Amino acid sequence: MRIWSYVITTDHGSAPNYDGPAVTLTICKPRIRMRAQQGDLVLAFNGRTLATNPHSVRWAGIVSEVLPMEKYWDDPRFRAKRPDRSETPDSIYQFMDGYLSQVPNTSHDESNIAKDVRGKNALIFSQAWHMGDDRPELPDVFDLRVVANRRLEPLREISSQEWTELEGWLKAHDRGLPKHSKGSRCGPRAALQPKRAKC
């Protein structure tokens, strides 16, 4: 199995987005979104704003689908992730007149457009684990820690036996996906104040 590792600095619900029907990664992390394939595992370690232990895991998920960003906005499965339906939307780019246009939203402002669009794809995760504030430390035996340059997003491959062990560890430490804020799935938002995000 191929595994992408990265360091997550914020976990407010937009990257990844935890709204149903599946966890998605559509903004931030352009290198991973551009190159990840179906069946890959994405593994996120806590940044220093989230935990003091750099080897603690925040979330992980298996890519079940790679969907071009041009098709994400119009896909009926992910309408709940639009700005008028979610408090932490990631469906914030609409394909119009041959290019992706950012719509008013609370997740990203214009300074994030180039990085978001460079990723080209939305990653869909039908299976995902969230450790949250439990911050379990990934054992060094898996050799998946991001140690040299925390800004890099290394790609590694592990054997089927190693994956069986890692999957067991993920299941043992899973605390379930975050609960959505009230009103995150229905009704228009009153005001949209975009923000510059670090991701």
CA distance 83 to 105: 5
What was the pLDDT predicted at 44?
Answer: 98
| pLDDT beneath 50, residues of the chain | 181-192
Q: How many CB atoms lie within 10 A of CB 168?
A: 10
pLDDT tens by residue, 82-97: 999 999 999 999 999 9
Let me know the angle formed at the C-alpha of 19 by 197 and 82, rounded to the nearest 5 degrees.
Answer: 65
Interval 42-79: pLDDT, tens: 999 999 999 999 999 999 999 999 999 999 999 999 99
- What is this structure's pTM? 0.90
- Predicted pLDDT of residue 197: 60
Asked if 36 and 123 count as a contact pair (C-beta separation under 8 A), the reply is yes
The pLDDT score that the predictor gives to residue 148 is: 76
Extents of the domains making up the chain: 2-68+121-173
